[in-house]
Amino acid sequence: MLRVGKIEYLNTIPVYYGFLSGKVDSSGVVFVEEVPSELNKMLREGKLDISVISSYEYLKNSQNYLLLPNLSISAKKKVISVLFLSTVPIHQLHRKDVWLTRSSMTSRELLKYLLREVYGIEPNYRFYSLKEGNLPKNPTALLTIGDDALKMIKTQKFPFVYDLAEEWFNLFSLPFVFAVWAVRKDSFKEKREEVITFYEKLIKSKKIGLDSYKEICKNFSSKISICEDLCKNYLKQLIYDLNIEELNSMEKFSKVINVVSSFQFIPVNYLRLKS
């Protein structure tokens, strides 16, 4: 039995759509749906074998993980769903409260880097969780990700909207990698055949998902109260691959935030994938 993490946001549905639509067999797999920070913790603690995790979690603890090839959640220029929202221009936020979502790890670190190094400000960071309901009523500024961000765009409460993938692109002309898929090294050792079989099915599932945006948006956009057009435009600009540009970008990110890490993939010779 393999325990596999799935982010509870729309952004992960294309990759899992083969399984979700019943076109790819999911027997022997238990899917666990959570916010990214919770999945990071569960994979780190061995409560999951495989998961989509924050790229920051991978960089921080890469000695424990192998990357699943050609899978990520990345975006070039705009990502739409990782937003820094503010009621005042950024330079006025020095020593002011900035609320960070507990659901994220990567975007939190990216925002801190941008505010410190690019905008030269040090706010007071506070943490909120929408599930725990501890975000103040009228925050001056906040970081939001995933479906929460897609819902918040519509409230128009924040005149200053910064898309973090765009901020990154403006600096380095690279896509930004928010999440990757990883397997624990000990799970790979113990359950190699199961892991390889699941990986191959996951790639099939993603192929089906990438061809099904219309259907996905028809079925899922109303669940988060966005229109089908926004859903389609959103999914279309996400990158689900992990190619050289994305890897270069991850390396750049690890350098600028001072995390030393090695990129290790499931060994390719174990894969039986037909292209």
Ligand X SMILES: C=C(O[C@@H]1C=C(C(=O)O)C=C[C@H]1O)C(=O)O
Residue 128 interacting with ligand X (CB under 6 A): no
Summarize the chain as % helix, strand, coil (round to 5): 45, 25, 30
Contact set for ligand X, span 148-207 (CB under 6 A): 149, 178-179
Smallest separation (angstroms) from ligand X to the CB of 145: 4
Closest distance of CB 275 from ligand X, Å: 27
Distance from C-alpha of 43 to C-alpha of 51, rounded to nearest angstrom:
7
Binding mask 3-22 vs ligand X (x if CB under 6 A, - otherwise)? ----x-x-x-----------
Q: Which two tokens stand for residue 110?
A: 């990216």
Member of 62, 72, 86, 107 binding ligand X (CB under 6 A):
107
Count of Cβ atoms closer than 10 Å to residue 58 Cβ: 29
**3-class DSSP state of 151:** helix
Selection from 250, 273, 240, 266 nearest residue 184 by Cα? 266
Min CB(218)–ligand X separation in Å: 21
The CB-of-101 to ligand X minimum distance in angstroms stands at 8
Number of residues that bind ligand X (CB under 6 A): 18
CA distance 95 to 66: 39
Q: What are the residues binding ligand X (CB under 6 A)?
A: 7, 9, 11, 36, 54, 73, 79, 81-82, 104-107, 145-146, 149, 178-179
